[in-house]
Chain A
């Protein structure tokens, strides 16, 4: 009896010692991110479990943040209590880097990755003067969704998904007109919506499509005052103001109560310009929808971006932080969210014919998506907001809001925008 007791105590004791030995060797990483949807929450959780199984010496403590992410991160860095690894929005990446708070990952990166693995817009997003401070998570781009039933009823062909066959603006406008239905003086079905939604920024794609630019090469000057840019913006506004084929939705307010996707589902809207991430939601809404490329002026263009993973410059565990970043940005990790339609891949080889089956989940991606993959590798440019201070971008959107919803002229709006934005860009 006594012997057994002693043995038991010994076992417990040795277990404890063993345990503390492991814990002493284990490194704990603080990781912070945001959760845009329950799907992402689940995915991060599962991903971290897998990571910790593969790396027994690293323990990750995850803190999700709801809203005001950049402000929270900034405060934590200022308070010297920042997480080791964190999400960073593409449009705050450069402003954080400028202040020297992001760990330079270039050396780690060059040892294990190659910048050319990434699609061009992701490269452009990550590289700051040839150095890397954050690794791209995925890609998202504005595209054109449509309700197939509406097109079938009207006997019209679906919008093309092959960028080389993109509709011209006139063709697009013509279709939108035919799909706009009025009853007793009220529009009950709109042709299209979404070009003016600020976070989708499809207007940038249209400006570029017309050979215009939002900013100059080194982002020190606003170039929306060119004839090409203004023409594109006016044509977007005319959808609503002149032709009435688009409802008046304003950039920063959801169409109270009913979302654009619900309008698309219930047949109140034929075509919707929205971020590719909407695919995930549409796939669960149980109605026949399709996906196509945006119309073009002179050439097909879309824009793209998505958050990055960075580490704090003062992290005590840079090696482990890199391991986690490498894992999160890996093909394997992003595939799960890509398969659900929330993300698009950021690696060139994932867009190659033989690899499409790995992520192009037939329950989510419409058949013709195959024709569209080159849209994201060959025709997508980086979202201009990534390379300017957030204040400048917020002014661009505010002034564009003035243009889209009030009767101010394009010249008034753009000159006011330029007067306010250029000094910020030159700082």
Chain B
């Protein structure tokens, strides 16, 4: 009676509708809004490139842009290297291995707010565990979250800790997709662990690595919740990132147009970075 296409469309409809109404439409609308001045209540005013011009001369924008890049540079490489190391360590057939994997995955499924509050405790300069441990080895720990120098590293450490498990699971899946036979053959030829890692693991894991890099970069550029709860962008904006500034403009200052412009700057930034990554895949990703 109906064609297969009809049924396919029908079953896709719930998802498709949600995508259209809650993602695609707002996406297009906010692009339009980025050329306007609007506070939701008074009539929309078209101001052309006004918002983008303001952005260029807005010192706070440059500061939060730099903070976003700082966060990404701190978060992505270290997070990936650590989770790869973890995945290799946990990719063994020993008793209770699933327990270890579960433990490292736990932060991923914990609520960000809970994570942020626990880490606030750990970072407490006077009563926190971290400064206590540092004092045992004779280091006078900094005022982590109240210092403009240390607040960002502190947030990055928490973020790495939180993301570790997710990347680890991806890497584990990738590692288990590498046939054992390659390692066996190389071992017969007398390869040591470094040679095995460099010549078999790294190239054969590269599609996974690529995926992890892309996802991590996107997530880092879009970081918000952790920062919102841990530092609210402070002290003195030292941890305020693009999405935080966007949120402030939209929902605290009610500058929807300006916030949309920030959103689109973020979009093009991430888009460019990913595009560069895609271009470069030929050089290092082996399929």
Contact = CB atoms under 8 A, between A and B. Distances in A.
Q: Verify that A and B bind, or say they do not.
A: yes
B253 A78 contact: no
A74 interface: yes
A256 B254 contact: no
Given A257-B128, A258-B124, A402 B253 contact: no
Contacts of B123: 256
Contacts of A253: 120, 145-146, 230-232, 234-235
B220 to A, nearest CB: 22
A46 interface: no
B121 interface: yes
Contacts of B127: 257-258
Interface stretch (A47-55, A58-66, A210-218, A244-252): A244-252
B41 A402 contact: no
A364 interface: no
B40 A250 contact: no
Nearest to A256: B120
A250 B120 contact: no
Contact of A252 (B143, B234, B253): B234
B120 A394 contact: no
> Which residue, of B41, B121, B143, has the highest number of chain A Cβ atoms within 10 A?
B41
B40 A75 contact: yes
Interface string A395-420: 00011011001100000000000000
Nearest to B234: A252
A376 to B, nearest CB: 29
Contacts of A399: 236
A398 B237 contact: yes
B89 interface: no
A14 interface: no
Contacts of A178: none
Contacts of B248: 394
Nearest to A397: B234
B252 A252 contact: no
Nearest to B121: A257
B111 interface: no
Interface residues of B, number: 35
B33 to A, nearest CB: 13
Given A74-B254, A257-B127, A252 B41 contact: no
Contact of A398 (B119, B121, B236): B236
Interface in A75-130: 75, 77-78, 95, 99-101
A251 B234 contact: yes
Contacts of A250: 145-146, 234-236
Given A256-B124, A256-B145, A257-B124, A99 B39 contact: yes
A268 B40 CA distance: 47
Interface in B210-249: 230-237, 248
B235 A405 contact: yes
Contact of B148 (A95, A252, A390, A405): A405
Contacts of A406: 148, 235-236
Interface in B241-287: 248, 250-255
B252 A256 contact: no
Given A253-B235, A256-B145, A405-B147, A68 B251 contact: yes
B140 to A, nearest CB: 9
A12 to B, nearest CB: 42
A95 B42 CA distance: 12
A123 B236 CA distance: 34
The 4 closest A-B pairs by CB, nearest first: A256-B120, A257-B121, A71-B251, A78-B40
Interface of A: 68, 70-71, 74-75, 77-78, 95, 99-101, 186, 247-258, 268, 389-391, 394, 398-399, 401-402, 405-406
Given A248-B146, A255-B124, A391-B253, 10 more contacts: A70-B251, A71-B252, A77-B40, A251-B235, A253-B234, A254-B120, A256-B122, A256-B123, A257-B121, A402-B237
Interface of B: 39-42, 117, 119-128, 143, 145-148, 230-237, 248, 250-255
12 contacts: A95-B254, A99-B42, A247-B126, A250-B234, A250-B235, A253-B146, A256-B121, A256-B124, A398-B234, A398-B236, A398-B237, A405-B236
